[in-house]
Amino acid sequence: MKEVVSIIKEQFQNWGIIWRISNYEDQASYQNHYLGLAWEYLYPLIQIAIYWIVFSGGFKKGSNLNGVSYLMWMVIGITPWFFMNRAVLDGSKSIYQRVNMVSKMKFPVSVLPSIRIIGNLNAFWTMLIFSIALGFFNNIYPSLAWLQWIYYFFAMLCLMFALSIFNSTVSVLVRDWQILLQSIMRMLFYLSGVLFNFQTTGFPAPFVRILELNPFWYIISGFRESMFQQSSMFSRPILTLVFWGFVLFMLLVGSHLHYKFRSRFVDMI
């Protein structure tokens, strides 16, 4: 637990560096493109259009889910997923891509995953605003239930930080981990309820209960249920305990590995 506290303290102590570098890297990534940073917002919108055409027009034929249009249901679920997917993959390679920079500057290696997490937030805010605007066209208006987004946003950041500390360290130790992680995230895309509602598509109840233990499903369903006022964040205490237990476990293991090998990162890379 001491290692966890130390890593979290490093994030707060170096928050200014994290913010400035994340903004710089976003601008540098698109500086040679005609549309520049606009691609960071256009890409998820294009992906949404593709999924809507295929899964709503092609398979579901425009059907509603509990009175909510499929497009609306999918958009509010895919918004946190796009952020989490990019944050996990970018965070996993944050150390071995930037460790040489840290060796020449005075700030801890542990802030590198946070830089990538913060750097992906711009697209998330844009997608969330798009989801809210789309909700107005579907007669979904702000309510007190939307305040639960504050909790789920905080939970999402904690999950991303815990996974990034773990994955970024393991990716340095085992270079094949990055390739395996990409495959895992592709699989989780379909197992996290982004495109399919497992509770209404005829899946066996025991199978659905297992899928609900997925921490990504917890975040995605939380954003949906808050927007559509379907349930309260206090209505699923067991899943909440499972989620935070998983976050704490990954943070403990990731922090231990990080502190154990951080002095050798440069040599390993």
Segment among 44-58, 77-91, 213-227, 237-251 with least mean pLDDT: 44-58
Our separate counts of H helices and E strands in the chain read: 13, 2
pLDDT attached to residue 73:
87
Residue 144's contacts (CB-CB under 8 Å, 6 or more residues apart) are none
pLDDT at 195 > cutoff 50: yes
What confidence tier does 59 reach under pLDDT thresholds 50, 70, 90? very low
**Full-model pTM:** 0.87
| Residue 61 pLDDT exceeds 50 | no
- The mean pLDDT of 36-60, rounded to a whole number, is 65
Please report whether residue 110 resides in a domain: yes
pLDDT of residue 39: 66
Q: What local confidence, expressed as pLDDT, does residue 201 receive? A: 61
Domain that holds residue 232: 2-25+35-268
In 3D, which of 136, 127, 107 has the Cα closest to residue 49? Answer: 127
Top pLDDT among 49 and 59 is at 49
For residue 31, what pLDDT is reported? 55
Please count the structural domains in the chain. 1
Instruction: Calculate the average pLDDT of the chain.
Output: 83
Is residue 19 included in any domain, yes or no? yes
Q: Between these two residues, 77 and 50, which has the higher pLDDT value?
A: 77
| Ramachandran area for residue 106 (φ above 0: left; ψ -120 to 50: alpha; else beta) | beta
* Distance in angstroms (rounded) separating the CA atoms of residues 6 and 17: 17
Q: Is residue 198 part of a domain?
A: yes
Residue 142 lies in a domain: yes
Output the pLDDT for position 37.
Answer: 58
Does residue 215 sit within a domain?
yes
As a whole-number percent, the residues of the chain with pLDDT over 70 amount to 81
For residue 30, being part of any structural domain is answered with no
Is 17 among the domain residues?
Answer: yes
Instruction: Give the Cα separation of 177 and 173 in Å (integer).
Output: 9
